[in-house]
Amino acid sequence: MPTLTRAEAAERASLVDVDSYHVDLDLTGDGATFRARTVARFRARPGAATFVEFEPVAIASITLNGRPVPHEAVAGGRLALSGLAEENELVTDATMGYSNNGEGLHRYTDPADGSVYLYQHLFINNGGRVLPCFDQPDLKASFRVSVTAPADWTVATNGRLVSRDGGRWEFAPTERISTYLASLIAGPWHVRTDEHDGIPLALYIRATLAEHLDQQAAEIFEVTRQCLDRFHEMFEIRYPFGHYQQAFAPEFNFGAMEYPGLVVFRDEFVPRSTITETEREHRASVIAHEMAHQWFGDLVTMAWWDDLWLNESFAEYLGSRVAAEATRFTGTWTTFAIQRKAWGLRADQRPSTHPVAPAEVADTDEALMNFDGISYAKGASVLKQLVAWLGDEAFRAGVNAHFAEHAYGNATLADLLRALSAAGGRDLSGWAEVWLRRAQVNTLRLEVRRDGDVYREVTVVQTAPDGFPTLRPHRIGIGLYDQADGAVTRRALIEAELDATGRTVLPELTGVRAADLLLLNDGDLAYGKIRLDPDSAAAVPLLLPLLTDSLARAVIWASVLDAVVDGERPVAELVALVLAALPVETETVIVEDVLRATRGLVDRYATAETRPAALELIAQAADRLLAVSPAGGSRQLVAARGLIGASIDTARLRGWLAGDGVPEGLVVDADLRWLIVYRLAVLGAAGLEVIEAELAGDRTASGEQWAVRCRAALPDPETKAAAWAAIVGDASLSNRLAELTAHGFWHAEQAELLAPYVERYFADMPEMLLIRSGMSAEKTAIAAYPAVLVSDRTRELAAALLARPELHPLLRRVVQDHDDDMRRALLARGLS
């Protein structure tokens, strides 16, 4: 795909104003290609020359204002246009190619029944794979779509269906939207419909998952209705795109995408097996996130990708907020504290860190790489604090004024700040400079001086890392927690405004009786790395199991995990805390995230000598939780998954597969069976015959995905060689299967076998980028990184690759960030 620079986009926007596209697709072809006839109407500066993105397989005809355009005008993914008139009509008839990487028009064959499904994903610069278009966010247009498809297919787009005659579908023109937001699905979809407040609703899924959607549709529709109602309470402009449809598509690169009128989710959001309440909560938050985009991103769209935060930070913030306010999932801010914010903090400390709102994003390649924890979670954290500082009424007034001024158009950071400043009566330029324009994170620590059992002086100390010296204003809570009658509860909450001097004394605590636990960032309002005072930190193992507030527990766990990542505390101390506190943890998301994070840290931070004992303690913690969890509940399932992932008791795992010794209430369904097979494969206790037997009983898309991951995990030289060849050289492998093969490849248990592949990564990964692109390439490069083979030699190989000036920027960022992770791991091993 061609890369579009910001300079090119600015120049083209100065020349062109797009009116409409009429796209007529014939999807009845041979399976490798489809036919696309497009009429694009636009205004231009008379006599100007420009280009549209266009990547045809073959061209039947091109005309501009009735005159033929030579086919040679198409080169490098662009169609050059010259001699433009004031009013222009570009007509093309071309053969286009389907993709298997989640970009353009993705074609998928369901292994369960052989049915074909298509979905369109033009993000971030893939519009030219389907139609010739001015593929940048500030050249909005109305899209009218016509489709000829097999007679038994269902087709849906952003626009309202006008008519259907057999396999011929006609859709109404859309409102003005950016090219990357044009959506389409086609295939024998199973459909459920509903209506709410005058808005037609629909859900789409593959036929082989129909029963699962039917079981879950009531909950999905309920969450959708509740979120619509809440957004209508918050925003003065009602949902602006007619119908609200949600499709669950296979092999989708994102978790979901906010196409107006037809949101697309990865189909794992309609699971076939038992899931936890946390996973249901996550689905609700994502539904709210994508719905927020209908205003932040679709109604008002950023002018260029440097204002990506106007899309993703707001949707991330509102996804958690609206799910908590409107649905039964009221604990989303606990999830945000331990999971989402941690993602932002990790991203913000890596070499690839960037401001939430960079002053310059040079091109679409750079823009794609900024879809990370900074643009999502850090931005949302900053917004959460801004709303508290500005006041919710002023925040909503500013947002509504912003929508009113820029509806169906584009806007910038300056536009939004102007509206919020006017509504709140505060100049936000200084706030934006330090929070949005400058990268990296501050560390906040408590410095406590006591006179006996009372505080003489308590100070919040703020520091900044070398190279990023910015100190910032923070609004923060400090909770005083005491132990009594077998519980730890909050006695008082102090709220403080931290200035940028670096030291803020809390006079409210002078002379106050010292608490058993002094919790900095109680309520999780501040974005920063949190460190407890020494007395409180020492009390955590005793008090954490007795702490009644789940958000407070999440803040503590996040602080402990972060300190281990930074090498300030040894991983052995974390494992001991997991064994002490996690078996009595009642919040499922905390259990899930702590087990996941601890397992990852043990694999990388523990030495070969200490890792087996650490894994055994994790397994013990999960086993204890399993023993006390209610039968059939979410905690039981989370504990079982954690036990399987850490266990080396192959006899017990085989017994569960056979139905022996399974805890009462635990359902060993298809996906839990595969998780057990996967762990047995890693340990060398299940071979290809076991994997193929499991697949024979599960000839589904999920079964196929599990099987490729399990095969890659086998500690066998031949299967490792085959898996590696598939990762780096098999262009026929779909995006999802390539990623899962990479995910299954590396295991600390197999260090000796995998050692040769460390050098292979740095030698072969540049070639992988010749057959994969965009998000699929990035995900595969990340999953294939030898992160668990921690050594100075791995860092030396990384440095040699990074020294190559021609290295693709996507791979450069992946290697830089993972090398920094390995630097931390080597330092942490020095603590062991």
Catalytic residues, by residue number, are 290
Instruction: Tell me how far the alpha carbon of residue 130 is from its chain's centroid.
Output: 25
**Are 138 and 9 contacting, i.e. CB atoms less than 8 angstroms apart?**
yes
Q: Is 22 helix (H, G, I), strand (E, B) or coil?
A: strand
Whether 304 contacts 137, CB under 8 Å: yes
Backbone angles phi, psi at 402, to 5 degrees: -60, -45
Place of tokens 């403080």: 496
Helical (H) or strand (E) element with 203 = strand 199-205
- Alpha carbons within 13 A on the beta-carbon side of 650: 10
- The answer for residues whose C-beta is within 8 angstroms of residue 9's C-beta and 6 or more apart is 136, 138, 304
User: CA dist 249 to 121, 371, 676, Å?
Assistant: 11, 21, 26
- Going by C-alpha positions, the residue among 303, 306, 342 that lies closest to residue 436 is 306
Residue 386's φ and ψ, nearest 5 degrees, are -60, -45
Which residues, in sequence order, are bridge partners of residue 296?
Answer: 300
3-state secondary structure 32-99: CEEEEEEEEEEEECCCCCEEEECCCCEEEEEEECCEECCHHHEECCEEEECCCCCEEEEEEEEEEECE
Q: How far apart are the first and last CA of the chain?
A: 47
Q: Are 206 and 118 in contact (CB under 8 A)?
A: no
Report the candidate in 427, 430, 405 with the shortest Cα–Cα distance to residue 415. 405
346-360 burial: b if 16+ Cβ within 10 Å, else e: bbbbbebbbbbbbee
Is 382:313 a contact under the CB 8 Å cutoff? yes
Q: Which of 690, 683, 681, 693 is nearest to 723 (CA)?
A: 681
Report the 3 state secondary structure along 302-367: ECCHHHCHHHHHHHHHHHHHHHHHHCCCCCHHHHHHHHHHHHHHHHHCCCCCCCCCCCCCCEHHHH
Q: What are phi and psi of 613, to 5 degrees?
A: -65, -40
Q: What are phi and psi of 263, to 5 degrees?
A: -70, 135
Q: Is the dihedral of CA 653, 698, 671, 701 positive or negative?
A: positive
As a whole number of angstroms, the distance between CA 150 and CA 188 comes to 9
Pairing mode, strands 262-266 and 199-205: unpaired
Cβ distance 518 to 536 under 8 Å? yes
Partners of 194 in the beta sheet? 201
Give which of 477, 304, 321, 306 is closest to 399, Cα–Cα: 321
Q: Which one, of 269, 287, 273, 2, lies nearest residue 124 by Cα?
A: 2
CA contacts within 13 A on the Cβ side of 775:
22
DSSP 21: E
> E strands along 122-181, which residues?
142-148, 154-157, 161-165, 168-171
Strand partners for 89: 41
Spatial neighbors of 433 by CB under 8 A, at least 6 apart, are none
Structure tokens at 767: 């070639």
- Count other C-beta atoms under 10 Å from residue 390's C-beta: 22
